[in-house]
Chain A
Amino acid sequence: MSQLIWMINLIPDIFWTLLLWAGVLSVIASYLLGKIPFVSQYKIPLRVGGVVAVLIGVYFYGVIANEEKWQARIRELEEQVKVAEAKSADTNTVIKTEVVEKVKVIKERAKTQIEYVDREIVKNNEVIKYVENCPVPKVIIDQINEAAKGVKQ
């Protein structure tokens, strides 16, 4: 079927216009020729051929109009897709920038907090006393580690 469509597409649009007008003229001529003696024998083939040409011409007029409609739709969709792709790329950039920036802030905050623990908290007398006298029981550490493991998929 695609070969047939391809072949039909090779025919210029003007051909169908000419065919339609030729058909109309043939039908008119078939009536006029009918009144001329000796020539009236051609009136039936002219009329039939004319009607067929009109039918085919009108059909392909419709095909051309339909094709134009779809081509316009394709252009409209191509434009929409282009706009959507640009918008999508912008959205990606915005989200990526935000996420990367926030992750950076979180990592920086974690680093600062741990540095603060190493620098200040460990020097706190109350903490020093606690660390010396009260090591965290292993059973508690095990439970914390167990909770940190989560559920493996």
Chain B
Amino acid sequence: MKHVALVLVLALAACTNVPIKQKFPEAIPELKEKCPDLKQIEGDKVAITDLLKSVITNYNMYYECSLKNDGWNRWYDEQRKIYESVK
């Protein structure tokens, strides 16, 4: 029993930990911004031009949000590739 204990102690003495921790990078703050709510049309008597302006604003808001979403996907794919390249 003493011999087994000695062998175990010596065997465990040879164990090694690799003290390296890779951190996943922090996301870009601009990509973390919440998409704004679409613009509502206000007023009882609404002219077609107001409707048009609201549509323009909302379309552009969509494209801005879509761009950020694409940016997120691209950011994640590229950062993941970089993260996994460390082996």
Interface residues in chain A, defined as those with a beta carbon under 8 Å from any beta carbon in chain B: 1, 4-5, 8, 59, 62-63, 66-67, 70, 73-74, 77-78, 80-81, 84-85, 87-89, 91-92, 95-96, 98-100, 102-103, 106-107, 109-110, 113-114, 117-118, 121-122, 127, 130-131, 134-136, 138, 141, 144-145, 148-150
Contact = CB atoms under 8 A, between A and B. Distances in A.
A114 B14 contact: no
Interface residues on B, range: 35 or more
A121 B52 contact: yes
Interface of B: 9-10, 12-16, 18-20, 22, 25, 28, 30-31, 37-41, 44-49, 51-54, 56-58, 60, 63-64, 67-68, 71, 74-75, 78-79, 82-83, 85-87
A114 B20 contact: no
A96 to B, nearest CB: 5
Interface of B is mostly: helix
